[in-house]
Chains A and B, each alone.
Chain A
Amino acid sequence: MYGRKKLQILNKKAKTPFRFFECIALFMPTGKKAANLREFVELVKVVSPQVIFHHLHQFFLKGVYQPWDYPNDFAHWAAFGLEDLVLAEKLSNLDPYNFSDIEKLREAVVDIIEEHMWESPIIPWSRPGQEFFFNESYTIVVPTGIEAETLSEFKEGLNQVNIGSVYYHFFESRLRLQKDVDDFSFWIEDNFKCPQLVKDIRNIDFYLYSLWELRDKIIKLLQKDISGKREQEIG
């Protein structure tokens, strides 16, 4: 199995343990709805930032079937509610996690829609019953009690926590920390000399993965780092 040096690496303790939290979102209707694209964009301009956050950022937390066609509620409605595939494609490409300011994100959404309406001869309408209903959410963050002091424990922990934990530490962290970094790679960088692992985690184009896929991917990267490259280093 592992040599003594290898075991030392696997068992190297972090300065501070990683504490896994999980995140649960309860959906709350706002009572606002849009039946056509003009109504929709006017409401996007005035709804609360929490509404924008719910429909764009928290889409990942819903457990919507993967691989999805469209990665946020606005694009999904453009495709299936309005049957406007061009707009759906444009809205899909808007990655909310590239915006540290939600008002800038709102502006970008409005720009995409208004430009699309400018070029389009008609205003698309949804069928009755397929209107867009604006929601917001009540977010609850709970400590799981699961902690990791070593990379091995971290990998085990990641397997034990609920998928809402992956969302909290990988997606929401970017807004919480106000920098384009997830909690996982931040902790690994801070505690272990694994620059390649940190780089690999940060290179994941996470907008294209479900939370389940993302967890598998990170675990595989950890596995690869722990059992592969380290083995070579030890010789």
Chain B
Amino acid sequence: MAEIKDYQTIVGKENIDQLFRLARRLGKRKVIHVSSTRTGGGVAEMLNSLVPLMNELGIETKWEVITGDTGFFEVTKAFHNALQGNRVNISERMLENYLENNEKNASILDLEADIVIVHDPQPASLIRSGKGRAKWIWRCHIDVSRPERRVWKFLKGFVSKYDASIFSMSKFAHNLPHPQYIIFPSIDPLSQKNRELSQKETDEIKRDFGINNLKPTILQISRFDRFKDPLGVMEAYRLVKRNTDCKLILAGGGAADDPEGFEVLTQVKEQKKGDPDIHLLFLPPTANREINALQRDADIVLQKSLKEGFGLTVTEAMWKKKPVIGGAVGGIVEQIFNYQTGFLVHSVEGAAYRIRYLLHHSNMARKMAENAKEYVRRRFLVTRHLRDYLSLFIALDHPQDDYISI
């Protein structure tokens, strides 16, 4: 497990000293994070890094995870889809089940703290069981800019009771009767997914996947999901292949329990059409080291999403000094600036053209990738995330102000 001093060589002593200064200002505090899972997914990944570091800074921090029956996770999955704008069928009984499960959780969990941070919709209704002396913050990680009205109305009833909420981008925020803050998510440069890997480790992982030819590699890591446009990626690859030889790796998982995802996966398999230069890799949620190796080995990383939350796979690839081509959606536009940190594209043809450009302009690709890494260092690492949380705790002490000097 990384310690805070290990980040000093990455972000500089000045930024680590700042974290200690802010933590000292806060003094003795007890913080509890509540989420729905301890493994798998972006939220768990971030909390795995943030919680121990917060403790090391002297902020007593606990991480509680809610439990629920099958029905509970069915309804929270439906919430997730509905909040992202999809039509879903949720019965009154399902809503009751959601509330009952969270009531049970509230009676089991020890939420006695100064600050309680509740992540995403799954545990949102815990607040109905009373806030105690704590300040409650709802941390929303998903794109709720166009939610399904009925589900949002239901959730808004609880979310409005919180003292503050945090969104990942201002376009995801809502009209709520309390202060709202924007905090970008982050990656941990010392986690299994992002730490430096030796060439030997990378080669071994490639060999395990049966990737052994020397053609330039185009990689997209994402779920087999329509919004990630894997079929568009294959089309772009074929356009490139007419002029420049290369191989494509599509790696991801998460389709087994998702009927629409299964359909996309079937289409992707069909579209492979026996091409030996297309590698389809199905990875479990814990394949962090494998993802790390694939990203490090790629020549170009694609994230040709049609809809996206923040797009931390883009951040990960940028951190590994890869030229990245991303769909101009969600948080990808916060990360990629054309010709500076990568390329934003709006179509299959645009993706193909930019891949060809980068394959033929290696100096430019290298320069953009170097810029990209520095940009991530400044804005999207876990240390900046910690700073924002500590600053937010200070802000919560002075809710009436918008400028404080302490």
Are B388 and A29 within 8 A (Cβ)?
A: no
**Chain A: interface secondary structure?**
strand
A129-B171, A135-B170 known; A142+B341 contact, CB < 8 A:
no
Are A31 and B402 within 8 A (Cβ)?
A: no
A123 within 8 A of B: no
A16 within 8 A of B: no
Stretch from A7-15, A19-27, A198-206, A220-228 that touches the partner: A19-27
- Given the complex of chains A and B, what is the CA–CA distance between A194 and B138 in angstroms? 53
- Given the complex of chains A and B, what is the CA–CA distance between A131 and B170 in angstroms? 11
How many residues of chain A have a CB within 8 Å of chain B?
Answer: 38
Q: Which of A24, A29, A162, A163 contacts B167 (CB 8 A)?
A: A29
Centre residue among A24, A33, A136, A144 by max chain B CB count within 10 A:
A24
- Given the complex of chains A and B, what is the CA–CA distance between A28 and B399 in angstroms? 13
Q: Which residue of B lies closest to A135 (CB)?
A: B170
B22 within 8 A of A: yes
Contacts of B167 in A (CB 8 A): 29
Q: Which residue of B lies closest to A137 (CB)?
A: B402
How many residues of chain B have a CB within 8 Å of chain A?
Answer: 43
Q: Which residue of A lies closest to B175 (CB)?
A: A31
Are A162 and B15 within 8 A (Cβ)?
A: yes
- Given the complex of chains A and B, what is the CA–CA distance between A145 and B21 in angstroms? 9
- Given the complex of chains A and B, what is the CA–CA distance between A99 and B90 in angstroms? 55
Q: Which residue of A lies closest to B143 (CB)?
A: A129
- Given the complex of chains A and B, what is the CA–CA distance between A49 and B308 in angstroms? 32
- List A residues at the B interface (Cβ < 8 Å): 21-22, 24, 26-29, 31, 33, 50, 62-63, 65, 68-69, 80, 127, 129-131, 133-145, 160-164
- List B residues at the A interface (Cβ < 8 Å): 13-15, 17-18, 21-22, 25, 167, 170-171, 173-175, 179-183, 328-330, 333, 337, 340-341, 371, 374-375, 378-379, 387-388, 391-392, 394-395, 401-406
Other A-B contacts than A29-B182, A160-B13, 19 sampled, CB-CB below 8 A, are A26-B181, A31-B173, A50-B402, A62-B379, A65-B341, A68-B337, A129-B329, A133-B170, A136-B402, A138-B181, A138-B403, A139-B402, A139-B404, A140-B394, A144-B17, A144-B18, A145-B21, A160-B17, A164-B18
